[in-house]
Amino acid sequence: MNSPPSSVATCIHFLDAGLQASLVRLTPERAALDRARFGASLETWAYGELLKTLALAGALHRE
């Protein structure tokens, strides 16, 4: 079995950005110091919002 190249990062998206931020112990102070960690939380939030929007759009389209 081939393993992915070491440069490929695994990405896990939580549907709850608040839970994700809590699990990584993200505070406003840490977000200011570690922009990468904040960026990951922001990406999680945006992903969740897009999923909700797409689900709603699909539900409206079917009616």
Q: Determine, yes or no, domain membership for 55.
A: yes
Q: Determine, yes or no, domain membership for 33.
A: yes
Q: Determine, yes or no, domain membership for 47.
A: yes
Range of the domain at 57: 17-62
As a dihedral over the C-alpha atoms of residue 38, residue 44, residue 47, residue 49, rounded to 10 degrees, the angle is: -90
Q: How high is the pLDDT of residue 15?
A: 79
Q: Determine, yes or no, domain membership for 45.
A: yes
pLDDT, tens digit (0-9, with 9 covering 90-100), for 11-61: 677 778 888 889 889 999 999 999 988 998 898 889 889 888 988 888 766
Q: Determine, yes or no, domain membership for 12.
A: no
Q: Determine, yes or no, domain membership for 2.
A: no
Q: Determine, yes or no, domain membership for 8.
A: no
Q: How many domains does the chain have?
A: 1
Q: What is the model's pTM? A: 0.65
